[in-house]
Structure 1
Amino acid sequence: MLNFLNQVMPNVVENWSGDTGMVTGIWQTLYMTFWTTLIGGLIGLALGVALVIYDEQGIMANKAVYSILDKFVNVFRSIPFIILLSVVFPITQFIVGTTIGPKGALVPLIIGTAPFYARQVQNTLVQIDPGVIESAEALGYGPWTIITKVYLREGLPDLIRTSVLTIISIIGLTAMAGAVGAGGLGYIAVSKGYQRYQNDITIVATLLILVIVFIIQGLGDLWAKKIDHR
């Protein structure tokens, strides 16, 4: 088997382990994806909920606050990620002390993800039946209770699906960040595969990214279906 792999993908076998090998690239991609999903997801969820409740039809309607949040989300969603990487370099250096490697990619990844996820959350929550919200208000529920017991509970299946799409987008962003020195499978595919004409490395790195995407998609679909059937 090893001889077969050496013949078919010699560069992959040679670069499978080590500090810049495929295994390290997998863990770096998962590291960036996990922390970006956790931190960026929480920020995006908070922003998305705020956009819903401060809207003119929301339970805490406030035109000024909504306008500020809406413009903030629009601005950061509109900046191409490759440019964002350069723009936030000083902020990244200040927060994490480096602008390279997986750790240095976290700040731009989070800044790029949170507004995107916020808009997805907003689009999901505004589809909840207004009658359910009105009933909760009639029962005397406060804003926090309506957010947790109505918005998030009623919208949970769709929020899961939205979150899965966001995580898949994050994986794509980690690959892009890797191309400019953040590490991960994107870095391996570009620097070791494409730039050195080692096509087997590029193909395997791409396949590994697809495997991660398919696993996340599958788990997300199963979870969403389970919630839907309750």
Structure 2
Amino acid sequence: MSWWSDFLANPVIQQKLPTATLETLQMVAVSSLLTALLGLPLGLLLHATAAGGLAPSRIVNSIVGAVVNFGRSLPFLILMIAVIPFTRWVVGTSLGWQAAVVPLTLGAVPFFARLVETSLREVSPGKVEAARVMGSTRIKIARAVLIREALPSVVAGLTVTVIALIGYSAMAGVIGGGGLGALAISYGYQRFDTQVMVACVVVIVVVVQLVQVIGDALARRLDHR
């Protein structure tokens, strides 16, 4: 009981944990939104230009696929360091949660694009062919057939991506990205404050659980089969 009282009375937990949690939520929310906006059309492009797609093009598919694979192959810590000049150019600084959004987005977009491509492959070719026979344009087929049918799977993929971003956001603290990762490193690890480390882990676990529950519920709601 005394440990719990000391835990609640810890000044770092009282003063810095709420701010660090807010920073983590902000960087994850913004990077997730950007990842969805950029990754969905990129995944659709990968699917459309593949053999048997809406607009097959071996050259385009190979180039886009190579770029996506390159982005996925870079370890996130190396990516964060490598894009520091680009981050400074975009947001004017390499520190803080706003700066962390840049590498988070760059790291997540290729990952999510591949998940989108996989989801689109699960759509029955018969539905696409039926839409073609009815005279639908490629854009209409992509919007009304492919994306609509694959939406539950896409949402599930986005849920996985958001959870991965939460983990990446903790690593962003290594280079001054702020959030729970920076708090855990600065106080939990470097100052050997076990209570702060435990608090950061608990908050991250709770956030991950909430994201998973919400994502699963939304995917089920969108599944019209």
TM-score (normalizing by structure 1): 0.94
Question: What is aligned with 1:128?
Answer: 123
What's the CA shift string for 1:147-200, capped at 9, x where partnerless? 110011001111111110000000000001112210111111111101111111
Question: What is aligned with 1:6?
Answer: 5
Question: What is aligned with 1:57?
Answer: 52
Tell me the distance in 1 between the aligned counterparts of 2:55 and 2:98: 38
SS of corresponding position for 2:54: coil
Question: What is aligned with 1:181?
Answer: 176
Q: Is the 8 A contact 1:17 1:24 kept in 2?
A: no
SS of corresponding position for 2:109: helix
Where structure 1 has 5 or more consecutive residues not aligned to the other structure, the ranges are none
1:15 paired residue among 12, 16, 20:
12
Q: Is the 8 A contact 2:24 2:169 kept in 1?
A: yes
Report matched runs for 1:75-224 at 5 Å. Answer: 75-224=70-219
Q: Is the 8 A contact 2:131 2:141 kept in 1?
A: yes
Report the CA distance between 1:17 and its aligned residue: 4.3
TM-score (normalizing by structure 2): 0.96
Tell me the distance in 2 between the aligned counterparts of 1:167 and 1:99: 22
Are 1:45 and 2:44 an aligned pair?
Answer: no
Q: Is the 8 A contact 1:54 1:62 kept in 2?
A: yes
Question: How has the CA–CA distance of structure 1 residues 176 and 88 changed in structure 2, closer, same or farther, with 3 Å as cutoff?
Answer: same
Q: Which runs of 4+ in 1 moved over 4 A?
A: none
Q: Is the 8 A contact 1:41 1:113 kept in 2?
A: no
Q: Is the 8 A contact 1:84 1:112 kept in 2?
A: yes
Where structure 2 has 5 or more consecutive residues not aligned to the other structure, the ranges are none
One-letter code of the match for 1:151? L
RMSD: 1.5
One-letter code of the match for 2:10? V
One-letter code of the match for 1:14? P
Q: What percentage of residue pairs aligned between the two structures are identical? A: 36
